Amino acid sequence: MTPSEKLESNLSNKSKALENRFDRSKFNFYSNSAYRHAKQQELLMIDYELKFTKIMKK
């Protein structure tokens, strides 16, 4: 597994974990809009990182 593939799999795992945590948190104490917005921004950043690594691999 090359370093870029490793990074990509780490990022996608992190993204999945965050999505799961985000879904659960919607029904928790933190379900205010600021928290949700922060989580969405975090997921967006990971998504951009994934796209960037895919572009850089080409």
- 19-54 per-position pLDDT tens digit: 776 666 555 555 567 777 888 888 888 888 888 888
pTM exceeds 0.85: no
Output the pLDDT for position 43.
86
Task: Tell which wins on pLDDT, 4 or 31.
Answer: 4
**What local confidence, expressed as pLDDT, does residue 25 receive?**
55
Q: Mark 19-39 as b/e (b = at least 16 C-beta within 10 Å).
A: eeebeeeeeeeeeeeeeeeeb
pLDDT (0 to 100) of residue 7: 77
